[in-house]
Amino acid sequence: MKRIEGIIYTENFDFRAGAVTVDGDRIAAVEFCSEDDLAPERRGQYILPGLIDIHMHGCAGGDFSDGSPQTMRRIASYELLHGITSICPATMTLPEEKLVQICTVCARSVSDQVLDGGIRLGEVLRGIYLEGPFLSADRCGAQNPAYLRRPDREMLHRLQNSAQGLIRVVAVAPETEGAEECIREEKGGFCFSVAHTCADYETARRAMEAGARHVTHLYNAMPPCLHREPGVVGAAADTPDVTVELICDGYHVHPVVVRNTFRLFGAKRVVLVSDSMMAAGTEDGGYMLGDQPVKVRGGHATLSDGTLAGSAVDLCECVRRAVRMGVPAEDVVRAATCNPARVIGAEREYGMLKIGCKADLIVTDGGFFVREVMKSGKRIAGTDLSGDL
């Protein structure tokens, strides 16, 4: 058994002094005490659930859309070392044959690829986020419009068969032909997410009533919320069981809007994502996002025409930046742990520190810089990353 003492992020979404006991790959006990009862060096130490990034494209020079097991292993290793213990990498809008290849390799790799420390890739890579091709040409952002398709259930089934059931989130523009029917009639267990869309309030609301339960990177690649045209943002706010993503890298959404989004939706409904591309964890320069060239300057990732092209920071840095933006730390942690676990249907085992859950946890300092990472009860070697980013 292992016992870790510090300031615990509890299942009541607050911070209390105490200790977490790990037995094998599970949390065996969570006990609380007075902060004065902790050793002095433990009083500034925070114990959080492992972070969960359900929308990211790459990092450390690797792009998930490469479709290679080596790249998938590199991405998962980087994320794990930086406190992100579960990920759902996102595809880009690509030809169907390329998407099939990515899904096929991913399904095979999660079972046979092993990271340092004996952690299986499948313990970290928990699913696939299908961002495209069912998007709007007028709001495609950094997606390649040449490969856009109308929503196609047959294609979706082919991709899910290739992925052996790993596809968790499917992005869709609800105004595209057949979108509403696809959402309503599909019984495959996908979480449909409103994304890259020109939809007005009524169209978005119908999609949500049909079964769409998530919104991809709120505010980005969609019409703004105006007082007479509330759009997707207003429709999501009006639909209590819809969750919304926020990219808190400081470029995608203004800090004032970040703070007000938490107020509007409440901490239960906001999901922090990085939307990181391969430049995360590297330096400024030229990169690729799917088949699109990206330039990163000062941590700002754009296509040649200035279109935002994902972020150049990982989820742990997004957590730190969201806290610096003025969002209460307990709400930020919830948005990066419990809430994303719920979106992908993993909330029974991940995203919280409670008895019976998987022992995925991180230890940080007061600024949420990672000191240690534990995955499935195993301490990940070389995780003294305090002040690394």
Q: pLDDT of 122-153, one tens digit each?
A: 999 999 999 999 999 999 999 999 999 999 99
Segment among 15-29, 219-233, 284-298, 311-325 with least mean pLDDT: 284-298
Residue 276: closest CA among 259, 299, 260, 303: 299
The residues that are catalytic are: 275
Res 285 pLDDT > 60: yes
Please state the rounded mean pLDDT for residues 311-323: 98
Higher pLDDT, 291 or 381: 291
Contact 46, 366 (CB under 8 A): yes
Mean pLDDT over all residues of the chain? Answer: 95
Among 185, 190, 175, 168, which residue's Cα sits nearest to residue 91? 168
pLDDT at 270 over 80: yes
Which tokens in the block code for residue 166?
């790993």
d(CA 184, CA 207): 8
- Strand, helix or coil at 208? helix
What is the predicted pLDDT for the residue at 117? Answer: 82
Mean pLDDT computed over 107-123: 94
Q: Name all domains of the chain by residue range, CATH numbers in brackets.
A: 3-379 (3.20.20.140)
Looking at residues 222-226, what average pLDDT do you find? 97
Percent of the chain with pLDDT strictly greater than 70: 98
Please report the pLDDT score of residue 189 as a whole number.
83
Give Dmax over CA atoms of the chain in angstroms: 62
- CA 219 – CA 233 distance, rounded (Å): 7
Q: Which residues of 320-359 are buried (b: 16+ CB within 10 A; e: fewer)?
A: bbbbebebebebbbbbbbbbbbbbbebbeebbbbeeebbb
Beta strand spans in the chain (E)? 2-9, 15-23, 26-32, 46-49, 51-56, 58-59, 62-63, 84-89, 128-130, 167-172, 191-194, 214-215, 243-247, 270-273, 285-289, 292-297, 300-302, 361-364, 370-375, 378-379
Q: Which amino acid, 340?
A: P
Closest C-alpha among 253, 280, 254 to residue 56: 280
Question: Could you tell me the pTM of the whole model?
Answer: 0.96
Residue 52 main-chain phi, psi, to 5 deg: -130, 115
Contact call for residues 90 and 56 (beta carbons, < 8 A): yes
pLDDT band at 388 (very low <50, low <70, confident <90, very high): very low
Q: What angle do CA 199, 202, 205 make, to 5 degrees?
A: 90
Segment 293-306 mean pLDDT: 92
SS3 content of the chain, % helix, strand, coil (to 5): 30, 25, 45
Residue 16 bridge partners (DSSP): 8
Is it the case that residue 49 has pLDDT exceeding 50?
A: yes
Answer yes or no: are the C-beta atoms of 105 and 128 closer than 8 Å: no
